[in-house]
Amino acid sequence: MLHNSNFIDISLNSRWSAKKVNDRKLSKKLDYKHPFFQDISVSYREHFNSKEAILNRKLEFYNSISYTVLKDGQDPIRLKIHIGDIVELPEESEGIAYAKVKSIFRYQANNGQYYAFFFFDWFQATNIMDSVLECPFYNIQKPEESRWFQIFPITFIDRNPCVFFIHNCGNTCNTEHDEENRSYILNRYYYNAV
Ligand SMILES: [Zn+2]
């Protein structure tokens, strides 16, 4: 698997069974009805500069991915990213945007090469601060909100995650967090301390 010469030693870990893929309401077959189809087509064109139609129809999903990033004047960085990790990405209007890794998958391009992608749920800034913690509230996007692009090649993440969001627990969170409650607090203090 190859993305570019600065992303090496890529290994995908714990491939999902067909049952697990189905349980997550996904499909290993990429057809026009697949929720990823539009994003993959665009991603493929934009990031790999390919105008060819997508030929291959098979997706493979994984629990985590490891890779090494080489940058000029730096020691190589070994990254390991799991589903559920929260990452930061450069964003034009907000400077930094935050997202949770929802899926990790690979796709075989027309040239026979495999490429790995992340599927993200984005955190939306609310401009509301927690008065005690003085940390900002964010809302994680709802599954049906698809106005943002959600699929990115792994080259968008070139450092290990060090972002800390705390669920803004209400009385519906008990032994498990209530995922219907989409409010989170960005813990800036922890973040700055890293
Ligand atoms: Zn909670």
The Å distance, Cα 181 to ligand 1 centre, comes to 7
Looking at 2.102.10, 1.10.3470, 2.40.33, 2.30.30, the CATH number of the domain 7-193 comes to 2.30.30
The Å distance, Cα 57 to ligand 1 centre, comes to 38
Name, in order, each residue with C-beta under 8 angstroms of 109's C-beta and a sequence gap of 6 or more: 44, 48, 50, 56, 115
Q: What is the mean pLDDT of each run of 10 residues along the chain (194 residues)?
A: 81 94 88 82 76 78 96 92 91 83 89 88 90 88 80 90 87 92 85 47
pLDDT at 25: 85
The Å distance, Cα 176 to ligand 1 centre, comes to 7
The Å distance, Cα 164 to ligand 1 centre, comes to 14
CA angle 150, 19, 122 (to 5 degrees): 15
The Å distance, Cα 179 to ligand 1 centre, comes to 8
Phi-psi map region of 134: left, alpha, beta (phi>0 left; psi -120 to 50 alpha):
left
The Å distance, Cα 182 to ligand 1 centre, comes to 9
Name, in order, each residue with C-beta under 8 angstroms of 59's C-beta and a sequence gap of 6 or more: 26, 27, 28, 29, 30, 34, 36, 105, 106, 107
pTM: 0.85
pLDDT at 194: 42
Q: Domain segments of the chain: what residues?
A: 7-193
Contact criterion met (CB below 8 Å) for 105 and 60: yes
The Å distance, Cα 134 to ligand 1 centre, comes to 19
Q: In DSSP terms, which residues pair with 120 in a beta bridge?
A: 101
The Å distance, Cα 84 to ligand 1 centre, comes to 15
